[in-house]
Amino acid sequence: MHVVVFTRSTPDTAAKVEVGADGKVTWGDAATVVNPWDEYALEEGILQAKNGGGKATAISIGGEMHNESLKHSLAMGLDEAVRIEDAALDANDSLAYATAAAAAVKKLGDVNLVICGKESVDVGTDQHIYQMARKLGWTLLAYVSKILEVDYAAGTIKVERLLEQGKQIVTSKLPAVITVMKDINEPRYPSFIGIRKASKAVIPVWSLADLGVTPPAAHTKLVAFKNLPVRDTQVEMIEGTPEEQATQLVDKLLQEKVL
Amino acid sequence: MSAVFVWIETFEGAALPTSWEALGAGALLAEKSGGALTALVFGENADAVAKEAGEHGATQALVCADATLKGFRLEPYAALLTKLVQEHQPRAVLAVATTRGRELLAASAADTDSGMISDVSSLDVQGDGSVVATRSAYAGKVMSDVSIDAAGTQFITIRGRAFRPNEAKAGAQAAVTSVAPVLSEDQIATKVERFEAEVGTVNLTDAAIIVSGGRGIANNPKDAPGDAGDAAVWKAKDGFANVIQPLADVLGAAVGASRAAVDAGYIPYAHQVGQTGKVVSPDLYIACGISGAIQHQAGMRTSKVIVAINKDKEAPIFKMARFGLVGDLYQILPALTAELKKRLGK
């Protein structure tokens, strides 16, 4: 069996992100890290490959900055890593991303399970993942908080999904694309030996020609990034005994009409 | 005149109230195109929900109450939506960016090679029929404007509580058309074994008011019983149950938490607000014992009014709060709950 985990590099979660005069996003000299949601996907990839007696491959779509997340994946213990980059591929368009991602999974040939983090914190989207599942024609199980059973020989999977109103337990068939939530596992830290091995790894890059696909014309376009509207941050401190603070706060909240 | 489709999400046969916000956003598009604002209602109780959608401004409704659609499953819902999109070539398909709305619209947009923008907080229709939508990016630290062309159907999911809902008008009616399902039960691989509902809790993403607790909840003055195991965990759980929850109850509020509180085991992950949890946008957010790390801010910064209660007056949360109270939450919150009971007449 073969598990694929999609990952990408994102600015450090504590970084101050701003929009420059050119409309582009900058995060100063803050480091890039593996997308925080992907850590759970990578850990689950390692666990599933081990349980199924198979291997795990990490894939990133985009420029060289994403080597960072792929090296992290190898250092954690995934077996292989591939990056997909092509000047004709606009990975910001979810259909283009999904088309390339599905082609890469097909090119690997023997994949039973694709695991993704719930979303990418940079672009803040998840639709490219669901669209990859549709382009593959595979089962999609999103928001998975637990894999309860998986039988690669029989091609069945049973998971717990975390939805707004509670937990849903479902069974379905493999191959499948799943997205995982934070609850699913405790991601490991890369080992010293893992980091050393990963630092020497040469990561192959596949082009659209290698994948043999042409993405459909993009219907969406990123127009510009904008800084947030300036928040009226003048905080009004409410002092006194706890009872006085409570009374004054209720007065203020009634004035603000939020109660 | 091509229609504007709005998927009315239901749970156990009742429409989610945020669906009327999707109808409100749909009306913005339908006004410009002159097409029919069309509610899509699938699953149990579909006819009654379609009637309600009519009262909320839908002029047409396509309904399918087939047994295969009882309870949301992506395969039969997406197959049906895709078929309806292919048949009607609507100008746009809208839904709220819930777990189900996100995957349903993305799937159908992929099936039809259509453009999609998810989780938008505002929409602007251009003269050529293209739409520019604003959405949050980089964990809420910046915004982005994304355009979607008018060449095909535009798939858009909207952020809950960002659009004005279409108010109900008694007597308003939608013309209802029944449609047939696409998949039969034996063509659907996914089977729901069971659903474990969270009983009696208010959904965070729909909530008008949220009371959230952080690491400071562990400073409970009560003594943990000897057999409690980890005393800090016991104290925090007791605080969530007996100090945070009563305040939430009197306000009709949902209970949230910081990542620190979730990771320490004080409260389940489903309550986490922030970068690896939920993004919320209530009218009132009361942060109790939360320092306000940038990752937490990512999940709640668009709240209308933020109240910070913390014993550390240097906590970053005060920098984004409208009102700040320095003190012990174990003294302030019970006083606040009592005062609210008195003033709100509960």
Burial profile A49-64: b = 16 or more Cβ within 10 angstroms, e = fewer:
beebebbbbbbbbbee
8 A C-beta contact, residue B174 and residue B60: yes
CA–CA dist B192, A137 (Å, integer): 20
CA A1 distance to own-chain centroid: 22
Q: What is the pLDDT of residue B1?
A: 60
Q: What is the pLDDT of residue A52?
A: 95
Q: What is the pLDDT of residue A232?
A: 66
Alpha-helical runs (H) found in A2-55? 36-52
8 A C-beta contact, residue B150 and residue B4: no
Q: What is the pLDDT of residue B203?
A: 83
* A116, B259, B201, B14 alpha-carbon torsion, rounded to 10°: -30
* Closest chain A residue to B189, measured at CA: A172
* Cα–Cα separations (whole angstroms), residue A176 to A113, B51, B176: 5, 37, 36
C-beta atoms of B284 and A14 within 8 A: no
Tokens coding A244: 């006085």
Chain A neighbors of B321, CB-CB under 8 A: 235
Q: Is A247 helix (H, G, I), strand (E, B) or coil?
A: helix
A101-130 residues touching B, CB cutoff 8 A: 121-127, 130
C-beta atoms of B142 and A226 within 8 A: yes
C-beta atoms of B323 and A238 within 8 A: yes
Phi/psi at B236 (nearest 5 deg)? -70, -45
**Backbone φ/ψ region at B34: left (φ over 0), alpha (ψ -120 to 50), beta:** left
Angle formed at CA B296 by CA A26 and CA B251, multiple of 5 degrees: 140
| Interface with A, mutate which of B77, B190, B286 (most A CBs under 10 A) | B190
Q: What is the pLDDT of residue A22?
A: 85
Q: Where in chain B is the domain with CATH 3.40.50.1220?
A: 204-343
Q: What is the mean pLDDT of each run of 10 residues along chain B (346 residues)?
A: 93 94 96 93 98 97 98 97 98 97 98 96 94 92 94 96 91 97 98 86 87 97 92 96 97 96 94 91 96 92 95 95 97 98 88
CA–CA dist B9, B15 (Å, integer): 6
Tokens coding A58: 């990490």
Of A11, A167, A228, nearest to B143 by CB-CB distance is A228
Residue B333: its H or E element: helix B329-343
Is the ipTM higher than 0.85? The answer is: yes
- CA within 13 Å, CB half, A109: 0
Tell me which CATH code domain B4-187 carries: 3.40.50.620
Tokens coding B61: 């409704």
CA–CA dist B269, B259 (Å, integer): 8
Of A170, A220, A252, nearest to B117 by CB-CB distance is A220
Q: Is B278 helix (H, G, I), strand (E, B) or coil?
A: strand
Chain B neighbors of A255, CB-CB under 8 A: none
- Residue A214 contacts B, CB cutoff 8 Å: no
8 A C-beta contact, residue B81 and residue B104: yes
What type of residue sits at position A27? W
Residue A133: its H or E element: helix A127-136
* Closest chain A residue to B195, measured at CA: A168
Segments in chain A below pLDDT 50: none
Report the topology of domain A2-211: Rossmann fold (3.40.50)
8 A C-beta contact, residue A178 and residue A161: no
Chain A neighbors of B303, CB-CB under 8 A: none
Q: What is the pLDDT of residue A23?
A: 83
Q: What is the pLDDT of residue B33?
A: 83
- What are the pLDDT digits (tens) for A25-61? 999 899 999 999 999 999 999 999 999 999 999 999 9
* Cα–Cα separations (whole angstroms), residue B316 to A173, A235, B202: 47, 12, 27
Decide yes or no: CATH 3.40.50.1220 for domain B204-343: yes
Q: What is the pLDDT of residue A124?
A: 86
Q: What is the pLDDT of residue B77?
A: 98
Chain A neighbors of B144, CB-CB under 8 A: 222-226
Q: What is the pLDDT of residue A233?
A: 67
Strands B142-148 and A220-227 come out as antiparallel
The counts of H helices and E strands in chain A are 7, 15
> Positive or negative CA dihedral for B72, B75, B78, B84?
negative
C-beta atoms of A258 and B205 within 8 A: no
B263-302 residues touching A, CB cutoff 8 A: 269-270, 272, 275-277, 283-284, 293-295, 301
8 A C-beta contact, residue B61 and residue B39: yes
Q: How many CB atoms lie within 10 A of CB B194?
A: 10
Q: What is the pLDDT of residue B345?
A: 84
Phi/psi at A41 (nearest 5 deg)? -65, -40
Chain A neighbors of B100, CB-CB under 8 A: 163
Tokens coding A96: 């283009």
Tokens coding A251: 């007065």
Q: Where in chain B is the domain with CATH 3.40.50.620?
A: 4-187
Chain B neighbors of A227, CB-CB under 8 A: 142-143
C-beta atoms of A18 and B276 within 8 A: no
C-beta atoms of A134 and B277 within 8 A: no
C-beta atoms of A181 and B191 within 8 A: no
Chain B neighbors of A16, CB-CB under 8 A: 141, 294
* Cα–Cα separations (whole angstroms), residue B6 to A203, B269, B332: 44, 31, 44
C-beta atoms of B102 and A126 within 8 A: yes
What type of residue sits at position B19? S
Q: Which residues contact B151 (CB under 8 A, 6 or more apart)?
A: A219
